[in-house]
Amino acid sequence: MIIGLLKKTCCKNTIILFKPLTILLFLVNFTYGVQAQVNLALNKTITASNGSINLANLVDGNFNSIATSGLPVGSDAAWFLVDLGADYYIKNVVIGANGASEASKDRMRRFMVVSWPSTVGTGTTGLGRVPTSYRDDVNSSLYNRLVYQLPSLASNVAIAPIQPAAIGAPYPANNRFSFDFGIHKARYVLILSLWSTYFDPSEIQVFPAASASVRTFANGGFEQSTSSGADFISEGGFPGWSATEMVGLQQAGPNIQPTGGGFVEIFRNLQVNPNGTTNNTNTGIPSNSGNYFAELNAYTNGMLEQQPICVLPGETFTWSFAHRGRSGVDVMAMRINDVDVARFTDGNSQGSTHTATLTAEGVGTTTIKQGATTYSTVATVNGTAKSNGWTVWTGTWRNNTTTAQQVAFGFRAVSAAGGLGAGNFLDDVTLSALSALVSVSTQSAVGKECEPSNKLPRLRVIGSVTQSNATIDLNLNGGTATLGQDYTTSSGTGTVTIPIPIGVYDGTDATAIDLSPYLTIKTDAITEGDETIIGILQNNPNGLVVIGDAGTCSTLGVAGNFNYTIQDSPPLVVTITPTNINCFGSATGKAVAYASGSCGSYTYSWNTNPVQTSATAVNLTAGTYTVMVTDISSGEATTQTVTITQPAATISETSNITKATAAGLSDGAIDIT
């Protein structure tokens, strides 16, 4: 049951929706580890431009009902805003068009969608309801934006009458626009019509990011590109990075929806071919290292964000990046945990301005290092640029709270000498000094006694392991199973030290560590009840890896605990049914082995010549035969013997007499057989 309350003001209608029971679970400061299929907008609070009707239809989960906005007023667009009720890391959005008529769909083919967290702006206000504010305002990069319209007008967001030339891509048969909005924290989702009339969408659905927070950055140097020059790569298809750039991917063309969301603008380093030609179109701008680098000012002041970082209480991580101006001196802010902690002002040559300023908001958490000096108070630091104009900046950030934090991390354009569409180059972004986190893949698992290890939990690791002596201890001194009888360990004791090899781990089963080399379940051929093994991970004193779950960003003990139940398997039993020989001296005997118990899948080996390997041995002569039956899964083996018999030999006599032809001759004969 949903209870609705309509609140009227002079400028808007608000519907507040209530459910009789609402349960919210916060694992950290905001919700992130939610299942991807959860529609965060379902039955949430909606506000809209004055005169709007049927607002609840926009968030009722039904694409067959519509909400109708009021008309735009002055510079304000017609609009709808959904309040998700809390901050979430969102990734995917679906907007439905009214399929009742082509005119209705045309009204939904030029609009802007904007999202922002509760820490930005003044709550539901954002930058207001004037579309150009989200393009031109100095703080527009704080808002995740996407424009749906004809690409040739990509940066034109002025409100205008419906014009066929500006109508965006047609909707597919289901009348929905489903797109990747990047991984950004958001509480508010705003839809602004860019037509000077009302619009009537059928639905908006918002889905959270399904992937976990990280302990190291992916694609920090922007090298996962194949471009030969300057290029746009949709944020939905570029590992590690999400963008707040307003413009949809232009290469998609006028008849394809920008389903990949906004984009990251990538440049290729100037390279000279053997014949003397260059292979790029970026006016000869070098990268800091590698082949590629990014630009924050693609069409507007934009922000590039990495996936959120899981930072434990009291932990400090080290950040590093390279920044360079394009047409002159550009200014960029580094934003950590929703705060501009520092600003970086860099020109495009070694001799131009290169400074960093730690802001008041960054004091207490952030430091900037330059040479041997560490700056931790509000100050302007002079940087040292390379001959190619790039300046490498480094420093630290500390979680001073007593709780684990899923920390947003990004860089946003503040100003550019080349205007909104040209400036603020970024390269070689790194995150270091965080120990890798280790957790069990499941806290409860069940396996048959006859399956030695393949149902055991795995150790999921997320982060970078840089030293060869990284280990974690596994304590197995609990449960009803008996060490040595029901299971064995590689150490022979209840504590096993498990090495964590050097590498970069993504927290999934693809890079997880198998426990089978360290813990093996035994088949004891005893009929008994199910038994349990309790495993508890324990931190090794060297601290190179730490028990924790990046998915929930938690160090709760349960992240490293598991209970494994050994289901008893009956002993392997074999019986043989013989078929004896029916004629003395022949090879017509047969023996059929019937196996049961253990895991139930077997191999057979008879001591015949040649060896027979099926359950049935054939063409047997009289004698004693043995079969070995082995369970494929458990390795348990047993033998059984059978004797094949034959009837006794019998003698039969016949005679043939040939008489002599005459008396006195010796030509007679007797043949006896």
DSSP string, 157-223: ---B---GGG--PPP-TT-EEEEEEEEEEEEEEEEEE-BSS-----EEEEEE--SPPBSS-SSTT--
Sign of CA dihedral 609, 614, 615, 619: negative
Mean pLDDT of the chain: 88
Nearest partner of 472 among 509, 442, 506, 512, judged by Cα? 512
Q: Is the confidence at residue 65, as pLDDT, over 60?
A: yes
Considering all CA atoms of the chain, what is the largest pairwise distance in Å, rounded to the nearest integer? 153
**CA-CA distance, 332 to 344, in Å (whole number)?**
5
Radius of gyration, alpha carbons of the chain: 37
Residue ranges of domains in the chain: 3-212, 250-432, 436-567, 570-673
Cβ-based neighbour number of residue 349 at 10 Å: 15
- 653 vs 267 pLDDT, higher one: 267
Indicate the pLDDT class of residue 599, thresholds 50, 70 and 90: confident
pLDDT at 105: 94
Sign of CA dihedral 134, 138, 139, 143: positive
pLDDT at 377: 95
**CA-CA distance, 167 to 110, in Å (whole number)?**
6
Architecture of domain 436-567: Sandwich (2.60)
The answer to whether domain 570-673 has CATH 3.40.50.300 is no
Q: Is the confidence at residue 270, as pLDDT, over 70?
A: no
Question: 436-567 and 570-673 share one CATH topology?
Answer: yes
Question: Position 329: which residue type?
Answer: V
Q: Domain 3-212 carries which CATH code?
A: 2.60.120.260
Task: Give the Cα-Cα-Cα angle 104, 106, 108 (nearest 5 degrees).
Answer: 80
Q: pLDDT by residue (tens digit) across 565-595?
A: 999 888 899 999 999 999 998 999 999 999 9
CA 590 centroid distance within chain = 57
Nearest partner of 587 among 610, 618, 614, 617, judged by Cα? 618
- The class that CATH gives domain 250-432 is mainly beta
Q: Is the confidence at residue 177, as pLDDT, over 50?
A: yes
